[in-house]
Structure formats: C-alpha cells, structure tokens
Amino acid sequence: MSDVKKRIVQIAKMLFAAATVAKVITIVLMVVTCLQIAAAFSIKVPALTGFFDGHISQIESVLGRSTVFEFLFRTANLNAMEPVYAKAIELFITFLSLVVLLFYISFFKKLIGRIIEEGRPFSDDTARQLRKSSWGLILLVLVNPVLGLLLFLLLRFFSLVFEYGAYLRSKAEETSRIQEEVIVSLAEITENKSEQTGQHIRRVSEYSKILARQMGLPEEQVESLRLASTMHDLGKLMIPTEILEKPGRLTDEEFAEIKKHPGFGEQLLHNVEGDTMTLARQIALEHHERYDGKGYPGGESGEGIGLEGRIVAVADVYDALTSRRSYKDAWDPKAAYDEIVRCSGTQFDPRVVDAFVAAYDQIDAARRQYADEHITNKVA
C-alpha cells in the first residue's frame, strides 16, 4: 500500500472512532429528549424526575432552541397554548433534528468503513450520495440554522472533493493500464528475442506472484510484482542473438557478456517513471544476485537485495532448471525442487525457499498450465 493510502486509512480509522462516539452521544440525547417530553406531560419516570428539574436548562443549551418553535411562538400566538404543549412541540422538533443527525453520522460511519476496507475513498457514486444526502439537512437547518447550514455546505464541499478525487483516480487507473500494456509489450519483445525461452517470462511471473502471496505480501504489492517480474530479462535485448541461442556451453567471454544483461535491463528502465517500472528496474538488476553475496552484477547479499529480487531469483532459477534450452535438457521437476531447497541460505533467501516449499503444488500447477509445447516433463 502506498504511503498516501496508508495515511488515508489512518485518518479514516480516527474519523471512524469519532463517528462512533458521536453516534452514541446522539442516541443518548435522543433518549434524554424523549424523557423530557414525558416529563413535560408529567409522566413520571422513576429516579429521573429530579434530574430533569435541575438539568433541563443545561440540556437546552446543548441542543439549542428550535428556530421553528420560536417562529410559531411569535406568529401563531402560541403564547395562549398550554406551556406543556408548547414545550412538547419544541422537544419533538429537537428530537427530529437528532434523528436527522443520527442518519448522517451513520452515513459517514458507513462511508468511512468502506474507505478503511478498500483504501479507495473517491468515487462518483460517493459524490452523488453526498449531494443527495445534503438536502436532508433542511430539517436541521429549520431547527438550528447555523449548524444545519454549516453541515449542508460541508457536505457539498466534500461531494466536490470526492468527485475530483474520482476523476484523478480514473486518470491514475488509465495511466496504470497504459503502463501495463507497455510492460507486456516489452516482455513479449524480450521473449521473441530468443524463441527457445518459450513462456519463460509468463511462468516466472506466475511463480513470483504465488511466492509473494504465500509470504503474505499485500495484494497490491503482489500484483505489482507480477507485472514487474515480466521484465526481469529485458537486458537480454542488448545481448547478441548468437550468444543467447548458442548450442552447447558458452565460453568465459560469452558468459561474461550474458552477465551484463541485469545492468542493461536497469539502464533501459532507468529513466522510466512509475512505481511498477521502478520495481521492474530493481528486479532486472537484482534477480541474479545471491543471498550469500556470490551473485552478479553487484555482489549484493542478504537483505541488501530487495525482497522482490530475492523472490524472482527463486522463480527464475526453478523455471530455468525445468525448461529445455539449446545447451541442456529440462530437469525433472522433483530434481529442480530439491536443488532449490538445497540452495536455501546460500543462493536463495531461506524465507523465500520456505514459501516455495509451502506453495509448491500451486507452482507445479502453473508450470504445467504454461508449459512450452516441446516440453514433456512428467509431473513431479
């Protein structure tokens, strides 16, 4: 989850707690108002009559005096009305205003709960709901003009904020979609560079997703890794085809050339903006680093290698072992599994290997689902 979304959720949690407290207070005031009405009609409520005798004026100062009641009192000659009925009318209008207030607190609490759950507060639907709901504050305006008008304007303002936020979100989603299309296109170009790699990129992407999910990464991060991992071999575009497709073992000079592809990938993605592209650049550079520091190109080790790079390293090697190449036959999946486990703590991060072992059934299913046509490995 991005830092902005984390802050949104944190603020939403605080507002949710405040809305809960406000809801409880409003319900208490509604109960108190009902009891005041009962007291006004001399309906005795045990243990509460004395309370009202000393505290009614304080409660009125909190709730405010009904503007509607004042208007009726002055224009309809309610001076002649029995005080008990006049008081009851005022309390009833106050009670209705509290009902309206309770509705809006519940509405906001539900809205805030959705923000906490989804981390996506802005939508056109929410903006429309806010605009429609604002008209219900007319009753509250009649009871307390200042509070009612303030809340009405506040709802209208937030409806505009949410509408603009929805617009920005749609633009961000469009940008993400375009970025994904670019990533897929680059991955396809890389794959077509060497026909012998088959669906290697797709399988590494699937394995990486499975491992990340098994390790408990947030779904947003899992999806970003799935996309970014498709470009782990982008630097091979800069490697001569005759080296990539050479049958038999490479010479030391040819292998030294192959080892340049992580750096080439980082260079190709260096000036590309976007979270996924930044992650792709990191993975392209680090996916051949080793946990013990004996990898390349930088000789990074342990936590010095990004978690995503450590995940893709396992996915990449497992697929390379179980795939046929011009210079080797495909390993039996069980032998490749044993090799990954054997290299835990040396070539690979032990935590990633633990996830590999725990999710191996899913990984093996993905291997078979996206198998190259010429591969006829038996199920491990």
Indicate if 87 belongs to the active site: no
Instruction: Please report the pLDDT score of residue 33 as a whole number.
Output: 82
HSE of 193 in the Cβ direction (CA atoms, 13 Å)?
Answer: 22
Which residue bears the tokens 């001076």? 79
Instruction: Please report the pLDDT score of residue 62 as a whole number.
Output: 45
- Dist. CA 116–CA 94, nearest whole Å: 33
Instruction: Please report the pLDDT score of residue 211 as a whole number.
Output: 98
Using 50, 70 and 90 to split pLDDT, how confident is the model at 118? low
DSSP H or E stretch at residue 134: helix 124-134
User: Would you say residue 52 has pLDDT above 50?
Assistant: no
Using 50, 70 and 90 to split pLDDT, how confident is the model at 197? low
Residue 83, class by beta-carbon neighbours within 10 Å (0-12 exposed, 13-18 middle, 19+ buried)? Answer: exposed
Distances in Å between the Cα of 16 and the Cα atoms of 3, 29, 31, 54 are 20, 20, 23, 34
User: Would you say residue 127 has pLDDT above 50?
Assistant: yes
- With 0.85 as the threshold, say if the pTM is over it: no
More confident residue, 23 or 43: 23
- Dist. CA 50–CA 84, nearest whole Å: 18
User: Would you say residue 231 has pLDDT above 80?
Assistant: yes
Partner residues linked to 348 by β-bridges: 344
- Dist. CA 160–CA 264, nearest whole Å: 46
Distances in Å between the Cα of 211 and the Cα atoms of 45, 207, 316, 340, 354 are 65, 6, 12, 13, 9
User: Would you say residue 6 has pLDDT above 80?
Assistant: no
User: Would you say residue 237 has pLDDT above 50?
Assistant: yes
User: Would you say residue 49 has pLDDT above 50?
Assistant: no
Q: Which two tokens stand for residue 71?
A: 């208007």
Using one digit for the tens of pLDDT, what is the confidence trace for 290-333? 999 999 999 999 999 999 999 999 999 999 999 987 778 899 99
Q: Which two tokens stand for residue 165?
A: 């936020």
Average pLDDT on 210-228 reads 94
Please tell me what DSSP assigns to residue 375. -
Average pLDDT on 172-183 reads 76
- Dist. CA 359–CA 207, nearest whole Å: 9
Q: Phi and psi at residue 196, in whole multiples of 5°?
A: -75, -15
Which residue bears the tokens 């210079």? 327
Q: Residue 225's closest CA among 206, 250, 197? A: 206
- Highest mean predicted confidence (pLDDT) among 3-17, 42-56, 77-91: 3-17
HSE of 332 in the Cβ direction (CA atoms, 13 Å)?
Answer: 6
Q: Which among 87, 171, 236, 328 is annotated as catalytic?
A: 236
Residue 312, class by beta-carbon neighbours within 10 Å (0-12 exposed, 13-18 middle, 19+ buried)? Answer: buried
Q: Are 10 and 112 in contact (CB under 8 A)?
A: no
Average pLDDT on 31-44 reads 73
| Residue-averaged pLDDT of the chain | 80
User: Would you say residue 196 has pLDDT above 70?
Assistant: no
Question: What domains are defined for the chain?
Answer: 3-121 (no CATH), 194-369 (1.10.3210.10)
